[in-house]
Amino acid sequence: MESPLVIVDLDRTPLRGARVHDRDQVVIGVAAEPRDAVEGYDVLLTGVPDPPRPWVPCADPQATARELGHIVESRPAAAVALVQVLRMGSGLSVSDRLILESLAYSTLQGGADFRSWLAAAPPRTHRPAETPVLLGRDGSRLAITLDRPWVRNAFDAATRDALCEALQVAVADPSITRVDLYGNGPAFCSGGDLAEFGTSRDTAQAHLLRVRRSPAALLHRCAPRVTAHLHGACVGAGIELAAFAGRVVAPPDTVIRLPEIGMGLIPGAGGTASIPVRVGRERAAYLALSGAELGAVEALHWGLVDEISDISDVTADPQEAVRS
């Protein structure tokens, strides 16, 4: 069986673009220093600090490539699906990208790697909130606050539905000129609620539900009016949704991560549509494949965050903030 991975040493290989669109492999390019006009690679690694997009900086590019290789070899279906979705998505509208992502996500939910991860995961008890999303309105400003702080605002089905209802208000009411999105408690959002993972056995119906009740699609529709106020952990859905906002602010304590490949999945809350627009397809692939943490300063350099804010501005009472 052909390996799901190709690593190209660009310091030893004549400079030419890689043909990836017809390949069922993850193609990684490695160079000591960034090269110009290198196209077609899924990830580009270099040892130069703060390189231009699409390059990813790392202390030892060859070692990082090998680490990514181990991840790809251990989760080949998810890794290959990820880069295929990212490649195809570059030519699609946001709404079509979300459909493509959901189809791939549902396919992987039925795969052996996700089922293996699910079987090994410790049991978790769902801890719902009576009102998982709070709304505050002051004139033309609307504050939307994720409010399950005891689970770091883990994104469950009830939170998804409530967020959709809140965003529908913003989409339907043109008199709302500013929408502020907050997370209550120690973290903005710690990602999908693992207590609900695997509870849906009908992946086809899960796809239809994901497309019909899509906070990502609604965020995209009102994005120019939305400011996402990050803090603490912004994992999975926590950054995938926030990246749709027209403006993203974050204090220095913010930590961003995409963990889904390790579960045998790909980002499923819109990340393959939102994050590449901000950081490029190659850096989005690196974040998802590696599962590496990205701090606020690096996120600012990459364009995933628009402003480093004072922590007190983000963790203040959202209802007070909307009145200020």
- Domain contains 86: no
DSSP 192: B
- Domain contains 84: no
- Domain contains 81: no
- What's the whole-model pTM score? 0.94
Q: Determine whether 29 is exposed, middle or buried from the number of CB atoms within 10 Å of its CB (0-12, 13-18, 19+).
A: buried
Domain co-membership, 100 together with 62: no
User: What is the total count of domains within the chain?
Assistant: 2
311: CB partners within 8 A, 6+ apart: 231, 251, 252, 253
Domain co-membership, 69 together with 105: no
Domain co-membership, 9 together with 146: no
- Domain contains 82: no
pLDDT at 115 over 70: yes
Dihedral sign, CA of 143, 223, 197, 161?
positive
Q: Rounded CA gap, 8 and 31, in Å? A: 9
Comparing C-alpha atoms, which of 314, 313, 296, 318 is closest to residue 305?
296
- Domain contains 192: yes
Domain co-membership, 230 together with 276: yes
- Domain contains 80: no
Domain co-membership, 251 together with 214: yes
Cβ count near 244 (within 10 Å): 28
Domain co-membership, 69 together with 113: no
Domain co-membership, 21 together with 144: no
73-97: per-residue pLDDT in tens? Answer: 999 999 999 999 999 999 999 999 9
Task: Judge contact between 267 and 122, C-beta under 8 A.
Answer: no
- Domain contains 79: no
> What is the per-residue pLDDT for 315?
45
List the domain range (segments joined by +) for residue 41: 5-74
As a whole number, mean pLDDT of residues 107-124 equals 94
The token pair that represents 319 in the structure block = 């209802």
Domain co-membership, 287 together with 248: yes
**1 to 19, 23, 42, 56: CA distances (angstroms):** 20, 14, 21, 29
Comparing C-alpha atoms, which of 2, 8, 5 is closest to residue 72?
5
CATH number at residue 179: 3.90.226.10
Domain co-membership, 129 together with 181: yes
Domain co-membership, 165 together with 249: yes
- Domain contains 87: no
Which alpha helices (H) appear in the chain, and where do they start and end? 61-74, 76-89, 94-109, 112-120, 157-172, 203-212, 215-222, 237-240, 271-279, 281-290, 296-302, 311-315, 318-323
Q: Which domain-ending residue is among 23, 41, 74?
A: 74
23-40: per-residue pLDDT in tens? Answer: 899 999 999 999 887 888
pLDDT at 144 over 50: yes
Domain co-membership, 30 together with 135: no
Mean model confidence pLDDT for the chain: 93
Domain co-membership, 62 together with 104: no
